Structure 1
Amino acid sequence: MGEAKTVIGVIGGSGVYEIDGLEDARWQDVQTPWGAPSDQILTGRIGEVAMAFLPRHGRGHVHSPSSVPYRANIDALKRLGVTDVISVSACGSFQEAMAPGDFVIVDQFVDRTFAREKSFFGPGCVAHVSVAHPTCARLGDACEAAAAATGVRTHHGGTYLAMEGPQFSTLAESRLYREVWGCDVVGMTNMPEAKLAREAELCYASLAMITDYDSWHPDHGEVDVTEIIATLTGNASNARDLVARLPAGLGPDRAPCPCGCDRALEFALMTAPDKRDPEVLARLDAVAGRVLGAPDKG
């Protein structure tokens, strides 16, 4: 793999619905074999770097965490040539030191979701990718540098408990995730998003904006949506500032990922070539085209 061009894809969560300073901006429809993405995708550029922005819940927040079309979203970004995905999302904190208003650059996940399609692969073309390290360290470092320039307090590294939702945690669950499992933050949307990004050979970084202390904290009580929205409003401008600084940090020319994210499928395909279903292969044209080649038109 030679040098390519950087294309940054931003998946914006609650409170983040645009990219500041985007030039030549336009909303466009993207068709995928996995259905429609959450919304149209806003494309443009900052300087010499192309960017694509997708509101995870759709404009107006029409999708719940369980109904977000995760496969369509990742496929659509891949079709637009995205190389690096930045996920921005709200989360609760299990750690006193990770306070509301802080950012966390997540590097690990515990996936407790159960009502979502979690893979592009299956009968007709089976593949197993490694998600031992589910985020891209190179991209996480770029986010940390951009966050430092904004002045917002940022924690580099943390384990994100992905719950199904849409309800918040019970007190017993909150204590389990914090005291027994040792998780740092809790949210509802980074899984299966991170797994699908890895299957699509996209570098993925998760920027979590802390809005509350979940329900474990004795001095803060249960999660209150009005307080979450207030914290999100304050954090949204910082998140947009951080995102707008990423093109300068990553640059327009992109070498192969040192973490191997863009080669995740190299040895992942299990189904023998003569046993692969052509209809399945056709659906995988964007996410796995590099290793599958052009689909057989029969």
Structure 2
Amino acid sequence: MTMTQLAIIGGTGLTRLEGLKIIDRKPIETPFGIPSADYIIGELDAKTVIFLARHGDPHIIPPHKINYRANIWGLKELGVRQIIAVAAVGGITSKMAPAHIAVPDQIIDYSYGRKHTFFEEDLEEVTHIDFTSPYSAELREKLISAAANAQITVTPTGTYGCTQGPRLETAAEIQRMERDGCDLVGMTGMPEAALAKEQGIDYAALGVVANWAAGKTEGEITMAEIEQNLHKGMADTAKLLKAFIARL
């Protein structure tokens, strides 16, 4: 069942892709359950893409309850070869200011209890994947180039730390993550990236900084602050994605 080769997974702040002309909706049942939402088949700048709302439509599935395996399996069934994953994140290091966009190149996984592999039952042999580079270098370079063409500043590298959620982190946890080398903190980067790798799908991410991480500023992190930063960051992300798709 081949529909198109490119999929965009939208996270918090990107439940819709502006300018996407919806052609069809595909509900899919997988051996791993029901995906977060119907897969939206659409056209953007005369190019066919698939869009999936990671947290559901409406946005009601918390990070630790997302059926990542069903989401990725369904995309594979639709013939997807490339995934651009968009996610709201917290900024840890100084270059990751709110409303900024990063194209991470590494991940550290702090999540737990999630169904994180397709290779656990009915195996003919134990299967391991090389996860040295969790993101596709080719896709990352194309995103960085598209950002330059759209005159959007991005940070072309960074380490994404994936926490369990849905609560935000403590200041001490962020201090530990920074010592570990994390530049960004989010809740959905894993096992999504690893599952895509298991299915042979090229995968890259756009981290849209919604706020400074815990302890990086005085006072509490508020949803109003997050929404304001996401409004700008996601608008730039949409421009970047359009520039990327236009060059396909």
CA shift, 1:31, in A, is: 1.8
- Spell out, residue by residue over 1:48-76, the C-alpha distance to the aligned partner (whole angstroms, 9 max, x if none): 63210000001121100000110000011
Runs of 5+ unmatched residues, structure 1: 252-298
**Counterpart residue number, 1:12:** 10
**Counterpart residue number, 2:49:** 51
- Spell out, residue by residue over 1:155-184, the C-alpha distance to the aligned partner (whole angstroms, 9 max, x if none): 001000000011111111111111x21210
Q: Which amino acid aligns with 1:75?
A: W
Q: Which amino acid aligns with 2:245?
A: P
Local SS of the residue matching 2:64? coil
- Spell out, residue by residue over 1:173-212, the C-alpha distance to the aligned partner (whole angstroms, 9 max, x if none): 111111x212100000010000000001000001000111
Counterpart contact for 2:4–2:78, Cα < 8 Å: no
**Counterpart residue number, 1:79:** 77
**Counterpart residue number, 1:130:** 130
- Spell out, residue by residue over 1:128-180, the C-alpha distance to the aligned partner (whole angstroms, 9 max, x if none): 101110000100111112222333320001000000011111111111111x2
**Percent of paired sites with the same residue:** 34
List structure 1 segments (4+ residues) > 6 angstroms apart after TM superposition.
Answer: none
* TM-score, normalised with respect to structure 2: 0.93
Choose 91-100 or 20-29, whichever is displaced more. Answer: 20-29
Q: What is the CA–CA distance in structure 2 between the aligned matches of 1:205 and 1:101, rounded to whole Å?
A: 19
Choose 153-162 or 228-237, whichever is displaced more. Answer: 228-237
Counterpart contact for 2:17–2:238, Cα < 8 Å: yes
**Counterpart residue number, 2:163:** 163
Q: What is the CA–CA distance in structure 1 between the aligned matches of 2:122 and 2:169, rounded to whole Å?
A: 38
How many residue pairs match? The answer is 245
Root mean square deviation, CA, Å? 1.7
* TM-score, normalised with respect to structure 1: 0.78
Which has the larger Rg?
1
**Counterpart residue number, 1:146:** 146
Q: Which amino acid aligns with 1:9?
A: A
Runs of 5+ unmatched residues, structure 2: none
Local SS of the residue matching 1:38? coil
Counterpart contact for 2:4–2:50, Cα < 8 Å: no
- Spell out, residue by residue over 1:58-104, the C-alpha distance to the aligned partner (whole angstroms, 9 max, x if none): 11211000001100000111111111000000000111122101100
**Counterpart residue number, 2:118:** 120
**Counterpart residue number, 2:199:** 200
Q: Which amino acid aligns with 1:196?
A: L
CA shift, 1:6, in A, is: 6.1
